[in-house]
Structure 1
Amino acid sequence: MASKEKGTSPIKASPPINNPQRQEEGDNVILPDDTRGRYMFRKALEAVKTIPIEQVAAEYGEFKPQGPGQLRGRCIAPDHTDRTPSMTVYTDTGRWRCYGCGMRGDVVDLEEMAGRHLEAWTAVRALAERYGVELPTRPKRWHEWQSEKSRRHDAIRDVRARLYQRRLFRMFAADLERIEDPAEREEEARTTYADLHVLAYACAEWKAGR
């Protein structure tokens, strides 16, 4: 995230616009959600940081050369009204800094701020998509294990749901016994048991999510 120097006024967060959505569950791209994911996320950061920062800056503002390896322009922070050019982009180091509001960072911080992303990951995704950078992917064995875990989860849920369905059905045993006609009693029992199916599965899903 872009950092801010002490002694400068804070910049209010802006709502996200045109953010790329997180990929759907099962997608092959690494998400920073576990130890392995955090490592691969760092690799993804390294990959997108090879993108020339001046190209990204040019998407959001106008910057002109000012000395070797430097570009100067108005700050592109969404909530900074920069009346005089106070933002410098250092093309040789891939860094930037606004000497007016104090914001600074690298190319990912620049995209996260100017693109109004809520987190660095969506900024990484946006840069990778626009500049054709290939991000690290999960190995095939990881997907196979996820499928196996899902299969086991579903099997356990089904067993638990049937157990709940039988237990719930017993709660209506006394009411069913009061029906004198055997045929009517059997039909009502069959209907009641079937009606409990949805409730039983809901209980099983709730139990699994605890």
Structure 2
Amino acid sequence: MRRLALILTLCALPLPVAAHKVIASVFPSGTAIEGEIGFSNGAMAPDLTVQVYGPDGALLGETVTDAEGFFLYTPTAPVAHTFRADLGAGHVADTTMPAEEVAALLGVAPAAAPPSAPPQTAAPGAGLSAADRAEIARIVRDEMRPLRREIAAYREKNDLQTILGGLGYILGLFGLAFYIAARRKLNG
């Protein structure tokens, strides 16, 4: 009878859920802002409208993700840009690029530049044409995309909550084994 009760109890326990988090990140890409939107399980968000907001909440513009969940947006003002997209089922992507990074993209000096900054020398690749720089930027972007996805997947798999949950299961199983052993010793 006890075994039947134990089996029924174990069958009634909830099964683990394959939850996933929204991945949303932005980074400089030449004179544009490139970003990606998707889920931590590797599913990206294709053909998704991404709205771009300024620090005052005003809509600055919109863009659309490509088939791999990536988008490009060209800023026009050196202000913080917040990118939001609704992925459905309560999932909302929300990420911000600070005003300093946007100002650097636009070639505008930041508002509070440090006075003791050393003079700038020629930038690497200054002798390249605009087309060559754009091609190099595209190649680097394409090579970095899989690495970003792998890092996000690794973070999702190996977070502290997962580790603590595994330890909890182990301790719970030992506790159950000790309880059953103690009951057998008392009864028999």
- Work out whether the TM-score is over 0.5: no
Higher relative contact order by CA 8 Å / sep ≥ 6: 1 or 2? 1
Q: If each structure's helix is expressed as a fraction of its own residues, which one has the higher value?
A: 1
Name the one with the larger strand percent.
2
Given the two structures, how large is their TM-score scaled by the length of structure 1?
A: 0.24
- Structure with bigger gyration radius: 1
TM-score of the superposition, structure 2-length normalised?
Answer: 0.26
